[in-house]
Chain A
Amino acid sequence: MIELRNLTKTFPGGVRALRDVSFSVGRGEFVVLIGLSGCGKTTALKTINRLVKPDSGTIAIDDVRSAEWDEISLRRNIGYVIQDVGLLPHLTVAQNVAIVPRLRGWKGDRIKEKVERMLAMVNLDPATFGDRYPHELSGGQQQRIGVARALAGDPEIVLMDEPFGALDPITREELQDEFLKLQQQIHKTIVFVTHDIFEAVKMGNRIAVMKDGVVEQIDTVEGIIENPASEFVRSFLGRHRDYLARFAEEMASQKAQP
Chain B
Amino acid sequence: MSFVEFILSRKVEVLSATLQHIRLTGISVALAVGAGVPVGVMLTRFPWLARWVLGVAGVIQTIPSLALLGFLLPLPLIGGIGTTPAVVALFLYSLLAIIRNTYTGIRQVDPAIKEAARGMGMTDMQVLRMVELPLSLPMIMAGIRISAVVCVGIATLCAAIGAGGLGQFIFRGISMVNNAMILAGAVPAAVLALCLDFLLGRAEKHFGPPTRGAGI
Contacts and interface: CB of A to CB of B under 8 A. Distances in A.
A82 B112 contact: yes
Contacts of B64: none
A162 B32 CA distance: 44
A82 B118 CA distance: 12
B121 A75 contact: yes
Given A135-B213, A135-B215, A137-B216, A86 B112 contact: yes
Contacts of B209: 89-90
Interface in A126-171: 132-133, 135-138, 149, 153, 159
B214 A51 contact: no
B212 interface: yes
Interface stretch (B39-47, B50-58, B126-134): B126-134
B120 A99 contact: yes
A75 B120 CA distance: 6
B179 interface: no
A238 to B, nearest CB: 30
A80 B212 contact: no
Given A88-B130, A89-B135, A73 B115 contact: no
Contacts of B113: 84, 86-89
Given A80-B120, A103-B120, A137 B115 contact: no
B210 A51 contact: no
A88 B113 CA distance: 7
Contacts of B134: 90
A101 to B, nearest CB: 11
Of the candidates B110, B130, B214, the one having the most CB atoms from chain A within 10 angstroms of its own CB is: B130
Nearest to A138: B216
Nearest to A86: B116
A82 to B, nearest CB: 6
Contacts of B130: 88, 99
A159 B123 CA distance: 19
A90 B211 CA distance: 9
B203 to A, nearest CB: 16
Given A86-B112, A88-B113, A103-B126, A80 B213 contact: no
A132 B122 CA distance: 23
Interface in A55-90: 72-77, 80, 82, 84-90
Contact of B121 (A73, A132, A136): A73
A189 interface: no
Contacts of B116: 80, 82, 84-87
B76 interface: no
Given A72-B121, A89-B209, A90-B210, A82 B115 contact: yes
Contact of A133 (B119, B122, B131, B210): B210
B117 interface: yes
7 contacts: A75-B119, A76-B121, A86-B112, A89-B210, A89-B212, A132-B215, A133-B214
Which 4 residue pairs of A and B lie closest in terms of their CB atoms, listed nearest first? Answer: A86-B116, A136-B215, A76-B121, A90-B209
Given A75-B120, A87-B116, 14 more contacts: A51-B119, A72-B123, A73-B121, A76-B120, A80-B120, A82-B112, A84-B113, A84-B116, A85-B112, A90-B210, A135-B214, A135-B215, A136-B215, A159-B119
Interface of B: 110, 112-113, 115-123, 126, 130-131, 134-135, 209-210, 212-216
